[in-house]
């Protein structure tokens, strides 16, 4: 069987991040996605964030990829399930592109990824309950000489967690390509003392941290969806000023604002590329209106194909 290379899209899963060594420190969260983060009452509140996705491709000798500008949308709402009030974090990515292999140009493809994750309130540690993800990704082969040098993957992946996070039930259904078609389920043993986060909730969970305190950035654990195994993620943070241009509840925001760049990487021998998230700093009364929003994040593609950047263009907050 030929060895496959994942496309840049397949790596966008909001962080197939790390889990590492032991330790008993846990992350503390606040509902920073609300103007008033001192009282957490998600009922009837929501937000919608819209991002432009751009891709900077790297020069390569073999297979390369070009993406047109895409869209990435996130929605945060609240739902009641089995008498429990949960957050639901929904994301949708849509992008088109094409591969090139030397002088040969591949057909234009349309890729997408849709994910949902349900989790408890910040005061309950944002404990994940379940997640679902559907992906349609165009993927190149590793062999430059193969006449069929790219193909399409379609799969859905889900996790349902035990209430005490001792384990999780997973399901994986691969619909394409035909040679990889499969459907399987299994159990992943967890039971870690560190904070545990679902892979799909990481962007919103990092937003709930006190990013001004180094003590808030202890490692956490997640499940690597490719291996169905727990991994540890290490975090770092630095204060930065970042240029923005987006609409916030009808008001156009332009210029530079204070932000915090959070880096996240696997705690392992070969951690892969570090991911960078830029959150609006929550420093005073004036900065509350930004609600620690994720302004931009960057995802380096494997095999040095390039870097995708997601830039906030519109934020609609309904939390009054």
Read off the pLDDT of residues 102-161 as tens digits, 9 standing for 90 and up.
778 888 999 999 999 999 999 999 999 999 999 999 887 655 555 567 889 999 999 999
Which pTM was predicted? 0.89
Q: Which of 175, 177, 314, 156 is nearest to 246 (CA)?
A: 314
The reply to whether 57 falls in a domain is: yes
The reply to whether 1 falls in a domain is: no
The reply to whether 161 falls in a domain is: yes
The reply to whether 139 falls in a domain is: yes
Q: Which of 288, 253, 275, 263 is nearest to 30 (CA)?
A: 288
The reply to whether 46 falls in a domain is: yes
The reply to whether 246 falls in a domain is: yes
CA atoms within 13 A of residue 170's CA, in its CB half-sphere: 22
Structural domain that includes position 103: 9-318
Average pLDDT over residues 36-65: 91
Q: Alpha-carbon distance 34 to 196, whole Å? A: 23
Rg of the chain over Cα atoms, rounded to whole angstroms, equals 20
Q: Across the strands, what pairs with 53? A: 70, 310
Chain segment 51-99, per-residue pLDDT in tens: 999 999 987 777 888 999 999 999 999 999 888 999 999 999 999 999 8
Identify the pLDDT of residue 100: 86
Q: Report whether 232 contacts 220 (CB < 8 A).
A: yes
Question: What is the total count of domains within the chain?
Answer: 1
- Cβ–Cβ contacts within 10 Å for residue 121, how many? 18
The reply to whether 24 falls in a domain is: yes
The reply to whether 111 falls in a domain is: yes
């Amino acid at each position: 069987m030929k060895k496959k290379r994942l496309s840049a899209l397949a790596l966008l899963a909001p962080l197939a991040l790390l889990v590492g060594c032991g330790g008993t420190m846990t992350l503390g969260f606040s509902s920073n996605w609300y103007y008033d983060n001192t009282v957490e009452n998600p009922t009837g509140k929501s937000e919608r964030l819209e991002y432009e996705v751009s891709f900077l491709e790297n020069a390569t000798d073999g297979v390369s990829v070009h993406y047109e500008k895409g869209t990435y949308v996130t929605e945060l709402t609240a739902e009641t399930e089995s008498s429990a009030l949960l957050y639901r974090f929904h994301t949708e990515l849509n992008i088109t592109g094409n591969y090139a292999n030397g002088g040969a140009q591949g057909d234009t493809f349309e890729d997408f990824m849709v994910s949902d994750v349900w989790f408890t309130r910040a005061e309950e540690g944002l404990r994940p309950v379940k997640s679902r993800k559907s992906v349609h990704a165009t993927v190149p082969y590793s062999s430059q000489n193969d006449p069929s040098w790219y193909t399409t993957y379609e799969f859905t992946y889900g996790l349902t967690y035990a209430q005490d996070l001792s384990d999780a039930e997973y399901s994986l259904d691969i619909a394409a390509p035909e040679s990889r078609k499969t459907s399987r389920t299994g159990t992943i043993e967890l039971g870690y003392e560190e904070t545990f986060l679902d892979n799909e909730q990481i962007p919103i969970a990092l937003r709930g941290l006190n990013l001004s305190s180094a003590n808030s950035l202890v490692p956490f654990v997640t499940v690597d969806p490719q291996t169905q195994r727990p991994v540890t993620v290490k975090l770092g943070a630095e204060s930065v000023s970042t240029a923005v241009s987006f609409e916030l509840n009808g008001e156009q925001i332009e210029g530079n604002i204070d932000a915090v760049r959070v880096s996240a990487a696997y705690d392992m021998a070969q951690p892969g590329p570090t991911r960078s998230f830029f959150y609006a700093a929550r420093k005073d009364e004036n900065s509350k209106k930004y609600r620690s929003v994720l302004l931009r994040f960057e995802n380096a593609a494997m095999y040095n194909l390039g870097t995708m950047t997601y830039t906030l263009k519109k934020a609609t907050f309904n939390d009054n």
